[in-house]
Amino acid sequence: MMKKRVLASLAVTAVFAGSLVAANVAQAAPRTVNVWVPFSGGNLDLWTASAKRIEAANPGLTIKLTGSVDMAKSLAAINAGNGPDISVANGAGNLGWFCGSGAWQKLNLLINGKNGMNAKSTFTPAANAFTVAANGTRCALPFSSEIFGFYYNKDLFKSAGISGAPKDTAELAADTKKLTTFNSDGSIKTAGFVPWAGYYGFGMDAMWLGYMFGASWYNGNQSAFTTPQWKRAFQWQHDLIQNVYGHGNFKKGADLLTKFVAARGDEWGAQHDFITGRVAMKLDADWMAPMFCDPDGWALNPCTKPAVNFGVAPFPVAPGLVSTNYGYGLVGGNTMGISKGVKNLGDAWIVLKGLATDKKLALEWANANGDPSSLIAARNKADLTYPAFYQTFYDISNHPRSGYHQLRNTGEHQEEDAIQNLLAAWQAGSLSDLSAGLSKTASDVNNILARNA
Amino acid sequence: MQLSKVSATTPFRKKGVVVAPPRKKLKTPWIFIAFCMSPWVLGLLFFTAYPMVASFYESFTKFNLIETPKWIGWANYHRMFFEDPDFYKALYNTIWISVISIPLRIAFALFTAWILTKPKRGRNIYRTIFFLPAMVPTVAASMAFTYIFNPAFGPINRMLQAIGISNPPFWFMDPKWSKWGLIILGLWGIGDTMIIYLAGLLDVPRTLYEAAEIEGANAWQQFRYVTVPMMTPVIFFSAVTGIIGSFQYFTQAYVAAGQVNDYSHSMYFYATHIYAEAFKAYEMGYASALAWVLLVITLICTLVMLRTQRRWVHYPNGSLFK
Amino acid sequence: MSKNLQEPSQAERYQIDSRKARFAKRRKNFLYMVANHSVLILMSAIFIMPLFLIFVTSVMDYHQASTRALWPSPFHWHNYVEVFTAVPYLRWTLNTLFVSVMTMIGTVVSCVPPAYALSRLQWKGRQTSFVILLATMMLPGQVTMIPVYVIFSRLHWIPSFLPLIVPAFFSSAFSIFLLRQFFSSIPDEISDAARIDGCSELQLMIRIIVPLAKPAISAIALFAFLGSWNDFFGPLLYLVDNQKLWTLGMGLNAFRGLHHVNTNMLMTASALFMLPVIVIFFFSQKVFIEGVTLTGVKG
């Protein structure tokens, strides 16, 4: 009897395990295209509607859309062999990797083929820049753009007697000095501008800093971290910390900022330092504007009563660059690609192209979220609703020098991480020789490039 | 005396031929042994033996999960030692935390266990309290520690300031102090090690203390010359497992680093590096090479420990007082 | 016998001395006790403090938690309700519970027989098997991690609970080891008697030995459950894809990145995450401590 019970429990276990397996191996029908997107809620609905339109235009084709899957997860699934046919990434930084590792396949043949398209006349130059890797390989089509700008608190500017957004880094430092106030115990009460690796955000602090100084990422096949622009950028950060926050003492300034950063409000919502007025100026993405307008609902329009009275300007740039570069900015965006080993490449391309060129989707998206579309056809002001300040983002993305850094296969944007980590070491005071540090970082990046070539 | 051993020599069977019907089956049928051992044997094959062979092979390949592994010889090992700054960073952090935290943990566990042997009443209550933190899920504990050690509003620093330390460290937010935060987190959860020490301490025969007392040893001398030598086997055990454990130290550091944006990689350990290479960068071949180097390091450390144990570990049968 | 009246006799003096000595000793013991308990109470306070701070913060609102408030006033008990609506906390709890219970079942079912064979049966290769078992306990998991991941991904088991549960049904060296230690301590006479009574080996194992080994089996069941409940690395590897599959550890780690969640709720979620294990601990302390002791001393 005991034996039976053991056998029975083993059988139950086996059946149970079996059912889990069965549930997992859902076989795809031949003309089904699986699309995984990182979006949810209303945004996912827009995509679902677009998928329906593509299905209607292509009888027999089924699109299975799954929301809330970010690219890290899609990539894990692609690598595990059960990924989607099409996946969508937020941000452009990993394109070189997706392309180089083979997770996303090359689209050059498809785009020039019978059912191809003219990318140049379809997408903005910036969008074409962030979807094509260094050697001309295209592994993705763009969706919306992600544009970084300079947010400033108008009320704080007014009370400090500053008339407008700083155009160069010297003005920025001077404004920071005017806007920064201290508590009686010496800690920072309000900070002007905080160029600090780890103050909110997405590990892009060093990248932003580099943009302000017009630093480039690659010279030919080599890392360009050794160029003087990077050194200037790092030095500027150091001096700002020393002069403004530390009253001449770098260590003191860095300590105060560490504490200030530790006490920051939550990133998502009304507690964000920029909304509470703890910080007066902030580099950030265009899609933060809806939150600054309406921290609960994230509604960009009409933004007549924003949570904080703010303005948007292009990044301040190094004094020598104002005439050529001011107005330019960092432009990335959503990219979407077709997984390697996709069962039906033809159908996947139809869906990918359909999604990327769906003007209705692009317009609805831009009107709901703000993010300017990468699709030229969806950038007519007449079709769009956005508050006046938001025009700055369109202007930045139209600037001829705007774009993303050259995209190469450094794995998971390891060049971005490397320079960010260096900035962290630099601000922590654990890097004594800046030039040596930058050269070392450059040679690390070169090693990665050589290995992944 | 095992009965089955006897059965092998009993005259019921001769060369497999049953001479008399065995009324009492004494020899265990092999099929039953096979049945018993099968879960472990299959597990050993699927989850240990095959994976070890495979990962050894993969450590000589470039392998990103999508494409089939491509043989690249020693390139992964060359990269590790000559081209990978993160490897040295991770190794440094791991060795640093081993060297500091293993002795500290041993001393602290010994101390907490020792003081627990003292009271005649209430020992169980104290033991429960001391043990409780070991029950807290690692993720929750790590989260909580980064929170209460926050330099700006965390209660710990406010208490430190209240007792007169005007510039308390920034803990997890300062690359120079973050590992100390992790060490404190580890000491807080000392409970399970402490229980082992406590059991060991309670095993020390009372007569030894009495003998020492007669010879005029004071409390400290008793601790030093009776307790510690008797505890050396347990200390040795926890030192060995401590070294193995520190090369697999992951969750606390990963969670804490994620909470504070540890860009300077002050909480980047060997296991973190393997994880990042394998499952962030999908450098499966390189990660396998890292894992094999880890195995070799662990083996060497264990062997060295075993070699030295003769000099300082006293097993109960040996003499205690020289 | 007052001192003033007459000199105490020899016997009386001895009595007085010994009473004095006894009193001195009692005094010394009392002081020792006070000192011991002071240290123990102080240390208890230190051990308890983080838990206390977590609890206190868990009932603060955002403003209190991020400013310099030390004590919540008023108490925001509502946090404990809100955490279930702000994130899929219930879902994560059920996921964690499911994985932990399955792991526990798998461990017990798959570890009792090998431990039994390794301790109570004589067979060729037993010693070798045991040595291999000990060796695998020392093996760093990273060495096997990647090929195992590849196996699961080829089986299309990622993401799912299967990679977390199925290995438990193939034994854990640690649990076998612990059970074996306990099984070995059961006298052989018991088995002999049962065998003579005509008990089959399977019956012997399940009916006689397993009930006797209840404390050890409870211990490995408990360890398996807690190990799984607290596990972070496994879910991190295998549940990547879907928030619906997340366990509490995964959810908690990602807490900060989730929109519309304030950080003060982090402590509420942490407190809720700890609560079940602490409750389990209070009910199973004896089993637990005996189990830990069994693992360490024989090590």
* Residue A379 and residue B104 in contact, taking contact as beta carbons nearer than 8 Å: no
8 A C-beta contact, residue C172 and residue C111:
yes
Q: Of 3.30.230.10, 1.10.3720.10, 1.20.210.10, 3.40.50.2020, which CATH number belongs to C87-297? A: 1.10.3720.10
Whether residue A274 sits in one domain with residue A344: no
Report if residue A426 sits inside a domain.
yes
> What is the reported pLDDT for A22?
41
List all chains that touch chain C, counting a touch as 3 or more CB pairs closer than 8 Å.
A, B
Do B135 and C192 make contact, defined as CB atoms within 8 angstroms?
no
The predicted structure's pLDDT at residue B60: 97
Query: 3-state DSSP helix/strand/coil percent for chain A, to nearest 5?
Result: 50, 15, 35
Partners of chain A (3+ Cβ pairs below 8 A)? B, C
Considering the domain architecture, whether residues A101 and A48 belong to the same structural domain is answered as yes
Q: Examine the pLDDT at C96 and tell me if it is beyond 90.
A: yes
Query: By mean pLDDT, which of B59-63, B222-226, C220-224 is the weakest?
Result: B222-226
- B151–A203: do the CB atoms touch at under 8 Å? no
Question: For residue range C137-147, what is the model confidence (pLDDT) as tens digits?
Answer: 888 889 999 99
Residues A251, A316, single domain; the answer is: yes
Structure tokens at C270: 């942490």
A72 vs C242: CB contact, 8 Å cut-off?
Answer: no
| C260 band by pLDDT with thresholds 50, 70 and 90 | low
Same domain, A172 and A84: no
Q: Of the ranges A9-18, B175-184, C31-40, C192-201, which is most confident? A: B175-184
Sequence-ordered strand ranges (E) for chain B: 13-14, 17-18, 61-62, 70-71
Kindly report the number of other CB atoms within 10 A of residue B208's CB atom. Answer: 17
Q: What is the pLDDT of residue B204?
A: 85
C8 — pLDDT class (breaks 50, 70, 90): low
Of the partner residues C37, C118, C297, the one whose CB lies closest to the CB of residue B199 = C297
With CA atoms as reference, report the closest residue to C152 among B41, A73, A66, B65: B65
Inter-residue long-range contacts of C97-103, CB under 8 Å, 24+ positions, other chains counted: C98/C161, C99/C161, C99/C164, C99/C165, C99/C228, C99/C235, C99/C247, C100/C224, C100/C225, C100/C226, C100/C228, C100/C229, C101/C225, C102/C161, C102/C165, C102/C168, C103/C164, C103/C165, C103/C168, C103/C224, C103/C225, C103/C227, C103/C228
Contact B281 A412 (CB under 8 A): yes
Tokens, residue B126: 């104290």
Contact status, residue A38 vs residue A69, Cβ threshold 8 Å: yes
Looking at residue A290, its pLDDT comes to 92
**C275: nearest CA in chain B?**
B136
Give the integer Cα–Cα distance in Å for A232 and B161: 38
For the cut 50, the answer to whether the pLDDT of residue C84 exceeds it is yes
pLDDT of residue B264: 85
Mean pLDDT, rounded, of chain B: 85
**CB pairs < 8 Å spanning A and B:** 75
Residues C277-282: contacts with CB under 8 Å, at least 24 apart: C277/B135, C277/B136, C277/B137, C277/C226, C277/C229, C277/C230, C278/B132, C278/B135, C278/B136, C280/C222, C280/C225, C280/C226, C281/B131, C281/B132, C281/B135, C282/B128
Residues A196 and A209 in one domain: yes
- The whole-number average pLDDT for the span C219-233 is 92
CB-closest option in B234, B284, B295 to C146: B284
CA distance B176 to chain C (A): 23
Amino acid identity, position A338: I
**Structural domain count of chain A:** 2
Q: Which two tokens stand for residue C204?
A: 């012997």
- Tell me which of A401-410, B299-308, C165-174, C194-203 is least confident: C194-203
Q: Count CB atoms within 10 A of the CB of residue C200.
A: 16
Range of weakest confidence among A197-201, B125-129, C257-261:
C257-261
For A366-392, give one letter per residue: b (16+ CB within 10 A) or e: bbbbbbbbbbbebbeeeebebbebbeb
**Residue A391, C-beta contacts closer than 8 angstroms, at least 6 positions apart:** none
CA distance A43 to A41: 5
* A263 assigned to some structural domain: yes
* Interface probe, candidates B143, B188, B220, B274, chain C, greatest C C-beta count within 10 A: B143
Tell whether A341 and A423 lie within a shared domain.
Answer: no
The domains of chain B, with CATH numbers, are: 3-58 (no CATH), 77-312 (1.10.3720.10)
Task: Kindly list the distances between the CA atom of residue A142 and the CA atoms of A127, A365, B134, B291, in Å, as whole numbers in the listed order.
Answer: 6, 13, 49, 38
CA angle B288, B290, B291 (to 5 degrees): 65
Q: Do C62 and A266 touch (CB under 8 A)?
A: yes
Question: Is the CB of C293 less than 8 angstroms away from the CB of B195?
Answer: yes
Whether A404 maps to a domain, the answer reads: no
Where chain A has pLDDT below 70, the residues are: 1-30
Residue of C nearest to A17 (CA): C162
Q: pLDDT class for B22, splitting at 50, 70, 90? A: very low
Tell whether A135 and A191 lie within a shared domain.
no
Q: Contact at 8 Å (CB) between B59 and B292?
A: yes
Report pLDDT for B11: 38
- Supply A122's token pair: 């379809």
Residues A271 and A134 in one domain: no
Rg (CA), chain B: 26
- Asked whether residue A126 falls in the same domain as residue A53, the answer is yes
Task: State phi, psi for B269 to the nearest 5 degrees.
Answer: -110, 175
Could you tell me if A324 lies within 8 Å of chain C, comparing CB atoms?
A: no
Chain A residues in contact with C259 (beta carbon < 8 A) = 268-269
Instruction: Select from C281, C229, C285, C278 the least CA-distant residue to C52.
Output: C278
Contact A80 C259 (CB under 8 A): no
Residues of B in contact with C202 (CB under 8 A): 32
Give alpha helix (H) positions in C121-170.
126-138, 141-154, 162-165
- Quote the longest CA-to-CA distance of chain A: 90
Has residue A109 been placed in a domain?
yes
Q: Is C76 left (phi over 0), alpha (psi -120 to 50) or beta?
A: beta
**What are the boundaries of each domain within chain C?**
10-58, 87-297
Lowest-pLDDT choice from A412-416, B129-133, C240-244:
C240-244
What residue numbers bound the domain in which A266 lies?
A: 148-329+410-452
DSSP string, B240-272: HHHHHHHTT--HHHHHHHHHHT-TT-TT--HHH
Asked if residue A7 belongs to a domain, the reply is no
Claim to verify: residue A138 and residue A154 sit in the same structural domain:
no
Statement to judge: residues A286 and A239 lie in one domain = yes
B283 in contact with C, Cβ within 8 Å: no
Among B65, B170, B281, beta carbon nearest to A258: B170
CB contact under 8 A, B64 and A423: no
CATH for A228: 3.40.190.10
Note the pLDDT of residue B316. Answer: 60
pTM recorded for the entire structure: 0.84
Nearest to B40 by CA among C150, C128, C238, A2: C128
Interface of B with C in 190-209 (CB under 8 A): 192-193, 195-196, 199-200, 203
Helix, coil or strand: residue A149? strand
pLDDT digits (tens, 9 = 90+) for B27-74: 678 889 999 999 999 999 999 999 999 999 999 999 988 778 999 999
B261 and A CB contact within 8 Å? yes
* Domain identity same for A76 and A132: yes
